[in-house]
Amino acid sequence: MAYVRTVPVDDAVGDVREQYARAQATMGYVPNYTQLFSLRPDVNAAWGTLLGAIRSTLDPRRYELVTLAAARALRSSYCSLAHGKVLLDAHYAHGEVHAIATAPETAGLDTVDVALMAFAAKVARDAPGVTAADIQTLRDHGLGDPEIFDVVAAVSARCFFSTLLDALGAEPDATYGELEPGLRDVLTVGREISTQPTRTLP
């Protein structure tokens, strides 16, 4: 499940148990990534605060689009699966999410969303390669500089989170294996989905 020893769900107490309980209240189980943060609950709390601040100024659908693009560029299966599923649950049908993941430019998205996904992928892959012309392209699509900042902040946050999970061996939760096979395979861009059943607090 991970390359480092985490606090087992059955043994969690104090701040770690509270962390597990909050995640379980949302997900219905204790996700593998939450167990990873059992080593540093304060980092998990800080991450939640940062992410909340970033998301507060972004349209929820657009946040998911740029996060999916960044996750795929980073080859993060965990984040690609998680945010692809959010798009599926809240915004699009199976076929649409499949198209958005594989070829956003022909998926029927608005031109600004296509531009944002391409930009997000570039930021994740090669931030030093971003140019003033890339920023101007977003302005030409009607985005203001604060909105462009928000997108870069969302992608930068994803780089932190995805890198942490992958470098420490966190596997995408087994529940993602329940996705429709074609979509599941498209969203699995790096580490394979866990074969271990999910855990819940006793």
Using a pLDDT cut of 90, give the percent of the chain over it.
100
**Gap between the Cα atoms of 176 and 45, Å rounded:** 25
Model pLDDT for residues 110-167, shown as the tens digit of each residue: 999 999 999 999 999 999 999 999 999 999 999 999 999 999 999 999 999 999 999 9
Answer yes or no: is pLDDT of 103 > 80: yes
The mean of the pLDDT values for the chain is 97
Asked if residue 15 lies in contact with residue 41, where contact means CB atoms within 8 angstroms, the answer is yes
Asked if residue 36 lies in contact with residue 4, where contact means CB atoms within 8 angstroms, the answer is yes
Asked if residue 102 lies in contact with residue 80, where contact means CB atoms within 8 angstroms, the answer is no
**Gap between the Cα atoms of 99 and 88, Å rounded:** 12
Model pLDDT for residues 44-76, shown as the tens digit of each residue: 999 999 999 999 999 999 999 999 999 999 999
State which H helix or E strand residue 154 sits in: helix 145-167
Residue ranges and CATH numbers for the domains of the chain are 8-56 (1.20.5), 59-187 (1.20.1290.10)
Asked if residue 68 lies in contact with residue 87, where contact means CB atoms within 8 angstroms, the answer is yes
| pLDDT at site 1 | 73
